Each structure stands twice: as C-alpha cells, then as structure tokens.
Amino acid sequence: MEVLLNSLGIFLLLCIYAKVVGERVTLKRIVIAISLFYILTVLFISLLESSEFYFIGSLLLYPTYFILYALSMDNLRSKISLLLFYSLFPLGFWDVIKNFLVYFVIFKIPLLHGLYETNLGIMIFSLFAKIVVLCLISIFRYDFSHLKVKTLDKKTKITLITANGLMLAYFILPPYMSYIDKVSWNRMSNYQELLTAIYFLLFICFVNLLDRNLRQELQEQVVLQKEIQLQNINNYSQQVEGLYQEVRSFRHDYANILASLKIGIDQKDINVISEVYDTVLKDSGKSLKGRRFDVVQLKNINDLSLKSLLLSKLSEAQSLVVPVSLEITEPVSIKNMEQIDFLTITSILLDNAIEAAAEAAAEAGIIVCLFEDAKWNKLVLIVKNSTVEREIELEDIFKRDVSSKGEGRGIGLANVRGILKSYPNACLKTTSKNYIFTQILEIEI
C-alpha cells in the first residue's frame, strides 16, 4: 500500500513539474521518474541509515531526486539557477501547501488530527496537498517554461537565486524544527505555525510576481511580433504594388510596340518590323525571367503573415545581391505549430541564411522550399544557403552564445531548439557540405 501511495505521489509531483516546465507527461517519463526515485531512496538508506547524517539525508532526498530528474530530462547544465528553480519549485509549492493545511486545517479538527498521526494518514494528506497544488497551477495557469528559451538577465538570475535559497531553506527548516522539538523538547513547534504562515504569503506573492512579469514579457514579445508582422505585410503590399506598376507599364509599352508593329505589318515593311524587334522586343523577356518574379509562388501560401515574412526576408536578400530561389508549387499552410513559433523559427533560419549567403558571395545564394509531404504526412520547410566554409562544424551551433559569426552571437539557433522542445511532433535536420548549409524543418501533420 505504501509503495503504491509513494508511486502515486511521485506521479503527482511529476505532473506538477511538467506543468511548470511546459512538458508532456509520457509513459517513458513516468517509468524513469519512479525508477529513479526508488533507486535514490535505496542509495540514501544504504549510505546514511546508520550515520548521524541520516536526518539531513532524508530531507535532501526529494531535492536531490528532482535535480537529477531535471538533468536527465532537460539540457539545463549551463543554467544552474534555472535547474534548481525547476527542481525546487514543485517541492517548495507542495511543502508550503502541505504545511499550511496541516497547521491551519488538520490540527484544528480533532478527527483529522488523529488520522494524521498515522503513517497512512500522513501519506494521504501529502497526496491531497499535491492534488491541491496541481489544481492551483492549472487554475492560475502558472507556466515558467519560457525561462528555458529566454536569455536570463542579471535581474532574473538574482530573482531565481533568491527563490531557490528560500525554497531550499523552507524545505529543510520546518522538518528540522520538528526534529529538534522531538529530541530536545525546546517547543520549537510554537514557531512553526508562524513560519508556515509567513512562508505561505511570501511564496504566493513571489509566484504571482514572477508569473506576472513573465506574462508581461511574453505580451511585449507578442506585441513586437505583431509589429514585425504588420511591417512585413506593409512590405508585402509595397512589393505587390510595385509589381502591379511594372505590369501596367509593361502593358502600356507593349500597346505602343504592337501599334508600331501594326504599322510595319500594314505597310508590309520588314525593316520597320525588324527595327522594333531589335530595339524593344529582343531583350524584353529578360526582365520577366528575373528572380524577383519568383514571388508569384507566394500565392500558394494560405497564411498572410508567413507570406509577408517570406517576401520581406527574400526582398532583403535581393537588396544584398543574394540570388534567391523560392519553391512553393502547391497550396500550403501552417499546421500543428503555433503560428508565432513557426514564424519565429522561419525568421531565424532566413536571417542566418541571408547573412551567410551575403558573406559567401556565391551563385548558389538562398533556396527556400515549403511543401506538404503527403507520403509521410509532414509539413516541410527547407532553407539552403551558400557558405564561406566548405563544411561548418554542427556540434555546437545550437548552443547559446556559440556562433561562427563571432562573440555574443549564436542566440537564434538556441532559441529555435528551445521552441522545438515544446513540439515533439517537429524536428530540425541540419547538414553542411560542399559550401552548402541546409536546414530542414519537419512537422508531423
């Protein structure tokens, strides 16, 4: 029975962790989580049971377990403060709610107090506290997953370090006070209610403050994305207007040309016809075959924001004298990914491609393909660009602050990887050979 309740408790903590980090609870994660917990429990008992450090070890079991679990599930080794926050937050939230319920609800009701004195009662109320935490997170929609993909500034790091210290202290201090109370009879329990009340208020205030700041930052990002989209749409409108003006001018010129030809034909004067052809018609087809008119394929994109983004970026490439090839031969639309995330990834890939192709100054330039693979049921985006190097080392290009373009760069692809972590149905394949760098984004639809 205890093993079942413990396993259920680990599952609930895993659900809390998944809510906070923004991940899905899969069978694989459940098996890994429960197995890791029991392995660590046996290890702690075997190493510390007969020593004077057993009490401290038992307090550190859960924090150690969640730190190891977070390390095994997420690539957070370079963000120690964030790793500790993700590891301690589910435990801290649960412990605060549990102690609040114990001191201000259970201890005030004799029947519940009597049940709590048993091991089974402790486990049941512990599970109830975890369920309450899970409900609170769902109701208030606490989501700190965006901390993984954003660059942590100094203020955020200080906030996380302070929060980690407070959570770790609270996770250790109340049980330690209970231990001292039992061993030395110093009546430390008189202070536990006050400590619990203070920490409860501080924790709730902190959680709401951090959540509000994150929501505000995300809202600012959404507004910025909207402004970028509006600018792209404006550029798109200007490009379309320019094309329309060219077509009108072309029609007007050709009306005059046809009139000139008609005169030559009516007079049966081959010299006039030859002169019109040599001076006007002979080279007129070149303008129609220019790269600029590849944008006609954008009509196959159903999402105006994506259409305007592609036109804006590819127009930028053309302004840098970078050859552009656009291949969108069938109707296509964004599927199974949030539009803002798809646009962000596309923008980053195109920015990197344009910059690299401009430096390479090669004929290959940029090739962009977008299509739906009916055979494999996937939406596929391919971005190819020429490079200065014959082959680019791929091992580190997705790490934050690592880039072949110099110090302080390399944020874009790190953000791409961070976004894709939220989409198990999507993957990004990267290759580099023979002076061609290729990024292939595949989304299962």
Beta strands 426-433 and 378-386: pairing type? unpaired
For residue 91, is pLDDT > 70? yes
Please report, as a single letter, which amino acid is at residue 425: N
What's the CA gap between 290 and 325, in Å, rounded? Answer: 11
**What is the per-residue pLDDT for 408?**
40
| C-alpha distances out from residue 219 to 154, 207, 223, 225, 359, Å | 21, 18, 6, 10, 35
Measured between its terminal Cα atoms, the distance across the chain in Å is 43
**What is the per-residue pLDDT for 383?**
95
Q: What is the average pLDDT value for the chain, to the nearest integer?
A: 79
223-229 long-range contacts, Cβ below 8 Å, gap at least 24? 225/340, 225/343, 225/344, 228/347, 229/305, 229/308, 229/309, 229/343
- Helices then strands, each counted (H, E), the chain: 13, 5
For residue 409, is pLDDT > 50? no
Tens-digit pLDDT profile for residues 171-186: 777 666 666 666 655 5
**What is the per-residue pLDDT for 291?**
45
Residue 256 neighbours by CB under 8 Å, 6+ apart: none
> DSSP secondary-structure letter at 336?
S
| C-alpha distances out from residue 49 to 44, 62, 292, Å | 7, 16, 75
Contact 410, 402 (CB under 8 A): yes
Burial per residue of 233-268, b for 16 or more beta-carbon CB atoms within 10 angstroms, e otherwise: bebbeebeeeeeeeeeeeeeeeeebeebbeebeeee
Tens-digit pLDDT profile for residues 337-359: 888 889 889 989 999 999 999 98
Joined together, the tokens standing for residue 266 give 């009516």
Beta strands, E only, 281-344? 324-327
Joined together, the tokens standing for residue 76 give 């957070």
Mean pLDDT (whole number) for 252-269: 72
Mean pLDDT (whole number) for 165-169: 81
Q: At what angle do helices 54-73 and 2-21 cross, to 10 degrees?
A: 50
| Higher pLDDT pick, 223 / 105 | 105
Please report, as a single letter, which amino acid is at residue 311: L
Residue 108: how many CB atoms within 10 A of its CB?
10
For residue 156, is pLDDT > 80? no
Extents of the domains making up the chain: 2-215, 290-444
**What is the per-residue pLDDT for 113?**
82
DSSP for 45-104, written as a single string: HHHHTTSTTHHHHHHHHHHHHHHHHHHHHS--TT-HHHHHHHHHHHHHHHHHHHHHHHHH
For residue 326, is pLDDT > 80? yes
Mean pLDDT (whole number) for 88-95: 86
Mean pLDDT (whole number) for 3-32: 84
- Give the CATH fold of the 290-444 domain: Heat Shock Protein 90 (3.30.565)
Contact 199, 242 (CB under 8 A): no
Q: Tokens 């930052």 sit at which residue?
A: 217
**Closest to 78 measured CA to CA, from 430, 393, 396, 412:** 396
Out of 6-15, 21-30, 145-154, 265-274, least confident range: 145-154
Tens-digit pLDDT profile for residues 40-82: 888 877 776 665 555 565 667 788 888 888 777 666 666 788 8
**What is the per-residue pLDDT for 380?**
96
Mean pLDDT (whole number) for 112-119: 82
% of the chain beyond a pLDDT of 70: 77
Mean pLDDT (whole number) for 398-419: 63
**What is the per-residue pLDDT for 407?**
44
What's the CA gap between 277 and 256, in Å, rounded? Answer: 13
**Closest to 244 measured CA to CA, from 286, 193, 296, 200:** 296
Contact 318, 292 (CB under 8 A): yes
- Which of 36-45, 159-168, 212-221, 430-439 has the largest mean confidence? 430-439
